[in-house]
């Protein structure tokens, strides 16, 4: 499936020049990703310690307002959970993948696959420091975890990040143009099949980040090499976001400029 032009050229040129692109998701993609996350939370409500009595009896997860209520409830009561527990099952992702790929291509993003069919959500709350991530490149994780080794290069992959619930429209910050730097500026201190702990060669603070405006319904697309991180949590308040790693059509002339 060929991505829609001229949007494809515009998106690719923005990423190549600045290291990221902010776009608006279509309604179909918003619905699919919200449904996957909200249904996962409902299916795991016991593990997540969510009491259904806190929710209206007529809650309808097709409606965004009710999905937001579910996310708000989860943020209020959820104890910190592992990356594994926040990952949507591969079976569910594969079932939704044809629709997801169609939506991305209709938005001008030539996606051919979802890397490892890996789709997960993140929660960040001011009061829980273990949910605050260091400023990092996703490529560091990809180069550290066995399951991601084959995708350790930035070649032909882009990260997709989208807020599903947030009080502030400024949640994520980036270091523009940092995707052009070497992705090997870190040391691995601990690595297992599921997680890695790394030490950057240069430590950055919140002040090094350029805030990106991403109200609900928008997303950020960037190469795994781009330095990014959560803005100061006490300013962004609680948020829930989701992430995918996209395999990009290497034959797309404009997008190939990002990777070579």
* pLDDT tens sequence across 131-189: 877 889 998 888 777 777 765 455 789 999 999 999 889 989 999 999 988 878 888 87
Name the nearest CA neighbour of 118 among 135, 102, 106, 100: 100
pLDDT grade for 37, boundaries at 50, 70 and 90: very high
CA distance 85 to 95: 19
**Of 110-114, 188-192, 224-228, 246-250, minimum mean pLDDT range:** 188-192
- Within-domain flag for 2: no
Q: Where are the alpha helices (DSSP H) in the chain?
A: 7-18, 27-43, 64-77, 90-106, 138-142, 233-236, 253-259
- Within-domain flag for 71: yes
- Within-domain flag for 114: yes
260: pLDDT strictly greater than 80 = no
- Within-domain flag for 74: yes
- Within-domain flag for 1: no
- Within-domain flag for 255: yes
CA distance 200 to 185: 6
pTM of the model: 0.91
pLDDT grade for 235, boundaries at 50, 70 and 90: low
Residue 191 maps to which CATH number?
2.60.120
Structure tokens at 142: 């990809």
Residue 255: what pLDDT? 79
Question: Each residue of 40-62: pLDDT tens digit?
Answer: 998 998 888 887 777 777 777 77
- Within-domain flag for 32: yes
CA distance 226 to 222: 7
6: pLDDT strictly greater than 60 = no
38: pLDDT strictly greater than 80 = yes
pLDDT grade for 5, boundaries at 50, 70 and 90: low
Q: How many domains does the chain have?
A: 1
- Strands 218-222, 228-230: pairing is unpaired
Give me the chain's average pLDDT, please: 86
pLDDT grade for 122, boundaries at 50, 70 and 90: very high
Mean pLDDT of 50-77: 79
Torsion from C-alpha of 202, 181, 4, 2, nearest 10 degrees? -110
- Within-domain flag for 117: yes
- Domain containing 50 equals 7-259
């Amino acid at each position: 499936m060929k991505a829609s032009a001229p949007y494809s050229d515009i998106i690719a040129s923005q990423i190549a020049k600045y290291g990221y692109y902010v776009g608006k998701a279509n309604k179909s993609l918003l619905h699919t990703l919200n449904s996957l996350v909200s249904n996962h939370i409902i299916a795991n409500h016991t593990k997540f310690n969510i009491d259904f009595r806190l929710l209206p009896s007529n809650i309808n997860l097709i409606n965004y307002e009710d999905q937001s209520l579910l996310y708000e409830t989860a943020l209020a009561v959820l104890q910190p959970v592992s990356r594994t527990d926040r990952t949507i099952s591969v079976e569910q992702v594969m079932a939704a993948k044809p629709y997801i790929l169609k939506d991305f291509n209709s938005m001008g993003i030539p996606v051919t696959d979802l890397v490892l069919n890996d789709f997960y959500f993140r929660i960040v709350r001011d009061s829980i420091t273990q949910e605050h991530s260091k400023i990092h490149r996703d490529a560091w994780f990809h180069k550290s975890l066995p399951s991601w080794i084959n995708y350790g290069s930035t070649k032909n992959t882009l990260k997709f990040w989208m807020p599903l619930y947030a009080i502030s429209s400024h949640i994520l910050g980036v270091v523009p143009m940092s995707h052009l730097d070497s992705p090997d500026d870190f040391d691995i201190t601990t690595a297992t099949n599921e997680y890695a702990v790394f030490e950057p060669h240069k430590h950055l603070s919140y002040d090094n980040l350029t805030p990106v405006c991403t109200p609900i319904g928008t997303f950020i697309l960037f190469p795994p090499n781009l330095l990014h991180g959560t803005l100061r949590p006490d300013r962004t308040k609680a948020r829930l976001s989701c992430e995918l790693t996209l395999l990009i059509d290497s034959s797309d002339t404009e997008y190939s400029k990002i990777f070579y």
